[in-house]
Every structure is written in structure tokens, then in C-alpha cells.
Structure 1
């Protein structure tokens, strides 16, 4: 049996993803799980995070498929949702997910927010949908995070003290991945 696969898709502007936020720590922890392989790579076009660059990279370079758990943070969550509209995946774990360009030119340029979200397609293509959000996120209004949870009927983990989830450790996401992989 092939190993289970987890891919971390970072937020835009992350720089060297291995040393940014919780990405490197989560990557190391998941790779300690027997029979599980986790990938974390610097993304092309890391600042604008254009959909037409990131989605092909997720398919060809990260090889996201029906056996993959995609952990997406911020812009990476938008990428994971758009990817799941057209590709079957094992699961998407969304961290700081949102639904609009927030009036930001860079977000508008990414392309993720140029059309309505296809919630039903995402639900049909992802066996599990877990979402982490915080009401004190300085960048994302809670209303948009709730809209994602409602649209996807996500298993929502709602916090009031985690901001944009830019901490260096994130044990809750490890637990969520383990639950998906053993469920």
C-alpha cells in the first residue's frame, strides 16, 4: 500500500516556508507518523500566489491526488478550495480560509476570487473538510471564515485567540490529520 500523503500549501508571502509560521514544525511532526509522507515546498509566485500558477504546481510538482490531505493556510486555503473544485482529494484542512479579495489588489490579482465558490463540487471531491479559524484574525473578518464553514459544512474548529495562525507550533492540525488518516 502506498504511503498516505499530506501536502502543506502555505499562505502567500511566506518566504522560506520551512522557517515560516508552523509549516516546518507540522511537516516534521507529520513525517514522524508511520506510513505518512508530508511535503512542504516553496511555492512559485509566492507573493501574488496566482491561481493559474499554484494549481498546476499542486497537481504536477506536489502531485495532489485522491490520496492527498491538503493543508492550506490563508492563500493556501483558497488554493486548496479551488483545487478541490476540479480534483478529487482525500481531504482539505483549511486554516484562515476566506471568500473574497478583501478589497486588496494583490488578492484580486491572485484570481481565486474572480467567480463564485463551487461549494458542492468541493464537497463532492473532498472526503473530509476540516477548518480552523479565529475570530480575532487581524486580516480576515469572521463572517468570511463562517461563510466557508457553512458553504462546505466543514468540521469547524473556532478559536478566539489565534489570530491568523502564525504561531510556530500547531498541534491541533496534527490531531486533525491523524483523525482523517485513521478514520
Structure 2
């Protein structure tokens, strides 16, 4: 059975934004869907968080990973260790996007391994992201990994002050 794991962003949880909507859409298509709660995303150093994530989930070449913001940045570290069919990074980033500490980021990435393990890669970023997780960040990941970069003018794709209950674009990208 195909499985999908949706990783929330910094300070978020599985019940916000478009995560429940996308999980329901994928479940209708017979995906085994997880939307785990990791309060430590971008609060705990990724080196400590990553082993817990690797032990807690099943990853294989039929797995689809979706990450939003800090959850998308987490996918970069995760893809150094697991091979999946598809990874969609929404409002993702690979360098500090603003003045905040970013413990979800690694000092460096093995881009060749991520490229080999990531399957079909998508980077969805917005030119007007208020946190700096913008199209330039998406371009940096695209330049290192290839894949497909999608640029919008749609803020952070969901946040405490941006209602974003559905995300049809992401739904359409997943077979």
C-alpha cells in the first residue's frame, strides 16, 4: 500500500491549515496517511529529532512526503537517509530564511544523496512569504536538486493569520 506522511511546520500541529484536508483526500485514494505531531520541529536540533522520526515511520519507494515550512526543511535531512517516490516541499528552505534560529537546518547537505532518494521533487514557494521561505529559497533547493519549482504569490500557504484550509495544487501533484 502507498503511504504518505505530512509534516507540519514550526509551531504547528496536524490539525491546522490544509493538513487534515490533504490527508482526507489521500485516504480517499487509498493512501495510508500519517500526519504526525512533532512539536520539536525547528525547536530541537535536527540531529536529535531525526532518529526519532526514522524509527517512528515506514519509508519505502512508494512513500510520498509532504512538508510545510520547518517540516519541509526537515525533509532535506530525512532524504539523506530514506528513499521515497515523491517529496513536496511547501514554503521550504535550505538556509536561514530570516533572523530566527533554525535548528531544523543542517550545516550542509549531501545534495547527491537527497537527489537520488527524493524521487519526484517539487518545491512550492511564494514570492511574498512573510518569513523568507520564498521563491529564492525554492530556487536554491531546485538548483541543488533539480525537480520542479512552482512559484506563487500566496504568502506562507497557511499560517496563524492566513487561512488556508485546502491546497488543491498539492493534491493534484500526488498520483
TM norm structure 1:
0.84
Question: How do 1:1-183 and structure 2 match up within 5 A?
Answer: 3-14=1-12, 16-18=13-15, 20-34=16-30, 36-46=31-41, 48-107=43-102, 110-113=103-106, 115-140=107-132, 141-160=134-153, 162-166=154-158, 167-178=164-175
Change beyond 3 A, Cα 1:84–1:30: same
Superposed structure 1 runs of 4+ greater than 4 Å apart:
none
Structure-2 change in CA distance of 1:54 and 1:177 (3 Å) = farther
Q: How far is the alpha carbon of 1:116 from its aligned partner?
A: 2.0
1:87-118 Cα shifts (integer Å, max 9, x gaps): 212221110111212354431xx1523x2222
Q: CA deviation at 1:147?
A: 0.7
- Partner SS for 1:86: coil
The runs of 5 or more residues in structure 1 that have no matched partner are 179-183
Instruction: Give the Cα separation in 2 of the matches to 1:144 and 1:30.
Output: 27
* Two-structure CA RMSD over aligned residues (Å): 1.8
Q: Contact conserved, 2:70 with 2:104, CA < 8 A, in 1?
A: no
C-alpha offsets along residues 24-49 of structure 1, whole Å, 9 cap, x if unaligned?
11111111113x11111211425615
Matched residue count: 169
Write the deviation string for residues 40-92 of structure 1: whole angstroms up to 9, x where unpaired: 12114256153134322322212233321110111111111111112212221
Report SS of the residue matched to 1:150.
helix
- Tell me the secondary structure at the aligned position of residue 106 of structure 1: coil
Measured in 1, the distance between the counterparts of 2:165 and 2:49 equals 24
Segments of 5+ residues of structure 2 without an aligned counterpart are 159-163
